[in-house]
Structure 1
Amino acid sequence: MTQIPNPVFSPQDREREYSPSSCIGGNYAPYIEQYATLSKAALVGSAHHVELAYGDAAAHKLDLFLPAGTHSESLPPLLLFIHGGYWQELSKASSSFSAPDCTAAGIAFAALDYTLAPQACVHDMVLECRKALRWLHQHGNKLGFDPQRMVVSGSSAGAHLAAMCCLRGWEDDADLPLGTPAAAVLVSGIYDLQPLIGTSINDALSLDAASARAVSPQLLDLTGFPPTLIGWGEIETSEFKRQSQAFADLLKAQGAQYLPPIEMPGRNHFDVIFDQARPDTRLGAATHALFASLPVTSTGST
């Protein structure tokens, strides 16, 4: 597979390009606080929320939100969100801000926890996220959502993990059940991890050339990749934009079900994800259209 070489930067320029807060003056704390505030409100305001364990490790937990009961004969689809934080920050506790938008539209929502660095390497985080998808597929009907209409989404590092969950024939893990996930929404992600080597981000990750290549979807076979929506904010570094566009281009070149990528005006790396399920935004409208395109396969009462 022919790959386009990464741009050559000085160490200082590469550090800046892979520091998304460099576009907003360096202080991203207010956005993290907003994640937590909105997620807490989602928990308090939901009568249909449950915390579940998808494995035995302490971090193998997820928060599931279901829409209120309807007269529909079909089970609702699910948006599974994988948070960012450069594989070393955040948790599901600050990742449920899209739950109200989803449940209001008849879509179940789940926020996923996984073990963070340095306690886990990126490779093992990928395995954990894929484990969660297997568990959700196995238990979906009983839990009250359609396991054949699961869409995996992620922001930043979460978009990388979501993309790794879409791989078929990845030599490091058995395939997920056929049609799992049914689609993906990838926002402001990194799909080639090699440029992180030599930056401060890698201090906790300990990636080398081989381990970075093994978990870089940009460098792997994308045959069988599901329908995918890729987006990013207007106020992002050139490298974050390039990585997203390059991955979209590769999906198209490899014959995946390609959706035109979206750049969200006025949004930055940290607030663009708020739009993922808001129907009055470009990203949210595209996400809802993606759900509407999925065929209904499971029935039951919600």
Structure 2
Amino acid sequence: MLQWEIMDKDELERQYSPRQWSHRMSGDEVINAHVTSLKAGTETACNITQTLLDVPYGQGEDEKLDVYMPCITSAECPLLIYFHGGYWQFLSKAESGFMAVPLVSRGVAVVAVDYSIAPKGNMDLMVSQVRKSVVSIIQQYSHIRCPSCGHGPLYRLVTVQYHSSDQREIALHNSPIQLLQQLKVSSATSEIVVAVAQNDSPEFRRQSEDYFNALKSLGMKVTFEDVPNTDHFNIMENFVDSDYYLTQLLLKMMGKD
């Protein structure tokens, strides 16, 4: 039996509530500070980049993306695709341009993707939209590298409380760790980084370790980064800093070190 299966409802909820594990401030404060930080970073990105906003990647109302491009671009300019977190319930592409702040100066474009968050969107819809966005971006920029980055270390979604067997089944078939056997990517060419915050919950950290080990067992080129002095929120907020370890790692992966 897995550890999460023997937890009572209150403990399970505590383990999967990232705001309760920050050492910097209270739960409400860390959420408010997180949103403020992301908005400020995105505003800065809008001021220093060329932007293409609300670019459709599908027919749905929420199927749009924002592109942040260096002021001077080249045909080989790499492009990073970013998928925001928010526990499927909040945040959007409007707060997701912050990663462009240190990247555009190194000749990297950033694409922030929107999808239909709950309650408007269900998990099947969200996953289909994410897949659709990637296909659209790769079709348009097939000549350059398009790595992706996302926020939220839930790789086994059935650990979250669901109210019906249908919801549980949806969570199961959309769990990243369940989908690994379907990967068609060459382990020789794909590089994956699983990063977790030092002050994330034990369950979030365990899920990240399990996912890393599952990828490694398949022969994928994967590394595990345990980022010191961070929680679930500033592990992403710090991407506005060009000297941040994960920023430097990202640039290295794109050949921009």
TM-score normalised by structure 1 residue count:
0.75
Gaps of 5+ in 1: 141-145, 157-188, 294-302
Task: Give distance in 2, aligned partners of 1:125 and 1:278.
Answer: 30
What is the match of residue 249 of structure 2? 286
> Aligned to 2:171, which of 212, 219, 222?
212
Q: Is the 8 A contact 1:223 1:255 kept in 2?
A: no
Structure with greater helix share of residues: 2
> Aligned to 2:61, which of 58, 62, 73?
58
What is the match of residue 256 of structure 1? 220
Q: Is the 8 A contact 1:233 1:268 kept in 2?
A: yes
Task: Give distance in 2, aligned partners of 1:103 and 1:265.
Answer: 26
SS in 1 for 2:195: strand
Q: Is the 8 A contact 1:54 1:61 kept in 2?
A: yes
Gaps of 5+ in 2: none
Q: Is the 8 A contact 1:277 1:285 kept in 2?
A: no
1:227 and 2:191 aligned: yes
What is the match of residue 34 of structure 2? 31
TM-fit CA distance, 1:268: 0.7
SS in 1 for 2:254: helix
Task: Give distance in 2, aligned partners of 1:263 and 1:279.
Answer: 19
What is the match of residue 151 of structure 1? 147
Q: Percent identity?
A: 27
1:19 and 2:17 aligned: yes
2:20 partner letter? S
TM-fit CA distance, 1:117: 1.1
**Alignment deviations for residues 83-120 of structure 1 (CA, whole Å, 9 cap, x no partner):** 00011101111111111211111111011111111111
What is the match of residue 97 of structure 2? 96
| CA RMSD in angstroms, aligned pairs only | 2.1
Matches within 5 A, 1:51-90: 51=53, 52-69=55-72, 74-90=75-91
Task: Give distance in 1, aligned partners of 2:3 and 2:253.
Answer: 31
TM-fit CA distance, 1:20: 0.2
Structure 1 residues 119 and 207: CA distance shift in structure 2, 3 A: farther
Structure 1 residues 272 and 133: CA distance shift in structure 2, 3 A: same
1:9 and 2:12 aligned: no
> Aligned to 1:49, which of 51, 57, 71?
51
Task: Give distance in 1, aligned partners of 2:144 and 2:3.
Answer: 37
Task: Give distance in 2, aligned partners of 1:9 and 1:89.
Answer: 27
**Alignment deviations for residues 130-163 of structure 1 (CA, whole Å, 9 cap, x no partner):** 11111111222xxxxx65410111111xxxxxxx
SS in 2 for 1:261: strand
**Alignment deviations for residues 208-263 of structure 1 (CA, whole Å, 9 cap, x no partner):** 321111100112215334321110111110011111111011000011122x2111
Matches within 5 A, 1:235-274: 235-258=199-222, 260-274=223-237
TM-score normalised by structure 2 residue count:
0.88
Matches within 5 A, 1:180-195: 189-195=153-159
